[in-house]
Amino acid sequence: MDKVPDGCSGTVPSWLGVILLQPTPDSVPRARRWFRRFIAPYNPDDPACLLDDCELLLSELVTNAVLYGQALEPWLVRVEWYKVRTSLRVDVHNAGVSADVRVRHAEADQAHGRGLFLVDCIAESWHSGPSRFGGTVVSAVVADVWPVGAVAP
């Protein structure tokens, strides 16, 4: 079961950026590189481990979008970033069916199936549902990415 994103209620998020990716495996490292370049100017004093967590969360969400998104016509993975108070919200849109988004519990000998489990561990909150672009959106909020009182980038 997903966590409902309470970190977003009652607050208007500040839109930070978007990237459109092909639904191919090479888009995952591209999204990570883009995130590192994008976030660096806004987060110079925060510990690198928090950025590593954000990057891992992004990587898992984009991987799932690539693996599980499907449509009859060509489509793209859309990744959007928002600042919500001191938190970072990441929305990943794909052409998949939202009813299929759930945490799986992989066995120790299984190579796959831990993506949303990792997202669930890292994120303060997350949810999935219908995307305004069609298909599915998975949104995750990582708490305390920016210091209290930091100016929105």
Q: What is the pLDDT of residues 3-53, one digit of tens each?
A: 444 444 557 788 888 999 999 999 999 999 998 888 776 665 555 557 888
Closest CA relative to residue 119, chosen from 90, 98, 147: 90
Fold observed for domain 6-142:
Heat Shock Protein 90 (3.30.565)
> Diameter of the chain by CA atoms?
46
Q: What would the two tokens of residue 57 be?
A: 């969360």
Task: Give the angle subtended at the CA of 143 by the CAs of 12 and 26, to the nearest 5°.
Answer: 95
Spatial separation of the C-alpha atoms in residues 14 and 20, rounded to whole Å: 19
- 69, 94 in Cβ contact below 8 A? yes
Mean confidence (pLDDT) of the chain: 80
CA atoms within 13 A on the CB side of 13: 20
> Average of pLDDT values for 123-134?
92
pLDDT band at 57 (very low <50, low <70, confident <90, very high): very high
Spatial separation of the C-alpha atoms in residues 87 and 16, rounded to whole Å: 12
Query: Would you list the domain boundaries of the chain?
Result: 6-142
Q: What would the two tokens of residue 48 be?
A: 């690198």
CA atoms within 13 A on the CB side of 52: 3
The pTM for the full model equals 0.81
Q: Give the model's pLDDT for residue 149.
A: 60
> Average of pLDDT values for 86-103?
81
> Average of pLDDT values for 118-135?
91
